Structure 1
């Protein structure tokens, strides 16, 4: 049996969108590398990390907003569908946008790992490729399991050219076009 690929997806993107639209509220579906995936519902610490990051973004970049739970078209030719934990974009950027938005204008995608068996493939492998292929300049991965933060940047030919994990507590520079410095000590409080 051959593995599913983006060239031979499990279903058409339109079929996935219909499936996602009719899924129960407690189920969060994504369509990445041609496969349907169930993304875990966020826990309280996950929500606190989003709140912490929204507050920092608002303080340092009031011209932008960190949109939680943003559905984005990703991958080459926009054939993937990712429910980003957050997407940083200009204020009111998504006004009038459809449910699955184009990634144009998104400056940073954010993912916070969950404690599930698919987190490694989804957040550390598939999402960086998908976001880079979509041309999103920065991908911020807050990895609760590893206790680290990875800033992926400089997308070129569908991959990020830079991205090295730093431990919680490190001072992290989010490069342009984001231009924010994160003091990540607080993330230790939300690792569990």
Structure 2
């Protein structure tokens, strides 16, 4: 489902049309995003991702810019210029962004985004989303690579790239750039130990 949808020779849908289709999609067990003009489905997160997401929120909440809120709830942020609509795992934005009845929030209003990778989204999390978030001026983008067990943070966006990039394996402390200017402790981000029966 990554191809741009068409109907027997008719022009591809506009981005607005695709957002309307996204509203109607019903794919149990999956969530959908629009990536570069195509639909991408990814499975729901694994249970232990919740612990990791909560820890990120708890650590960053005291450092949020004034009036901003951080959440790991499912919200859709749109980037019309890139034909993308993402539902980031963790996101922070000014509280005014949420004062709307629309489910399509302005991606340029984000102050922080974090994605926890899955096999189906990992490539775009590591490449395409870096460009989109930088181009939208999102100050900080954090990638928690759950497959490689490492964290990468980007800061100081400029055009389609970030000027700051720092990578650390899980277990180490990761400096988070301004406007947060803090240290993220990743020591509890590892997978849970396998249950063994005695």
Q: Give the TM-score normalised by the residue count of structure 1.
A: 0.83
- For residue 144 of structure 1, report the CA deviation from its aligned partner: 0.9
User: Paired residue for 2:32?
Assistant: 29
**1:146 aligns with one of 138, 143, 148:** 148
- Deviation of 1:178 after TM superposition, in Å, equals 2.1
1:97 Cα offset (Å): 5.7
Q: Is the 8 A contact 1:133 1:159 kept in 2?
A: yes
Aligned with 1:96: secondary structure? coil
CA 1:179/1:105 → structure 2, altered by over 3 Å: closer, same or farther? Answer: farther
Specify the alignment match of 2:52 in structure 1: 49
Q: Give the CA deviation at 1:138.
A: 0.9
Q: 1:106 maps to what in 2?
A: 110
Q: Which one has the largest radius of gyration? A: 2
Return the offset for 1:98.
Answer: 2.2
* RMSD of aligned alpha carbons: 2.5
CA distance in 2, matches of 1:156, 1:92: 25
Is the contact made by 1:28 and 1:41 (CA closer than 8 Å) also made in structure 2?
Answer: yes
1:134 aligns with 2:136: yes
**Whole-angstrom distance in 2 between the partners of 1:58 and 1:179:** 12
Equivalent in the alignment of 1:58: 61
Residue in structure 2 matched with residue 40 of structure 1 by the alignment: 43
Give the alignment partner of residue 169 of structure 1, picking from 168, 171, 178: 171
Does structure 2 conserve the Cα–Cα contact (< 8 Å) formed by 1:10 and 1:35? Answer: no
Give the aligned partner of residue 100 of structure 2.
Answer: 96
Give 3-state SS (helix, strand or coil) of 1:164's partner: strand
Q: Which runs of 5+ in 1 are unaligned?
A: none
Cα distance in 1 between the residues matched to 2:122 and 2:57: 25
Whole-Å separation in 1 of the counterparts to 2:153 and 2:114? 10
Q: Judge conservation of contact 1:49–1:190 (CA < 8 Å) in 2.
A: no
**Count of matched residue pairs:** 183
1:185 to partner: Cα distance: 0.5
Runs of 4+ in 1 over 3 A off after TM superposition: 59-64, 90-93, 189-192
CA displacement at 1:25 relative to structure 2? 6.1
The residue that corresponds to 2:160 in the other structure is: 158
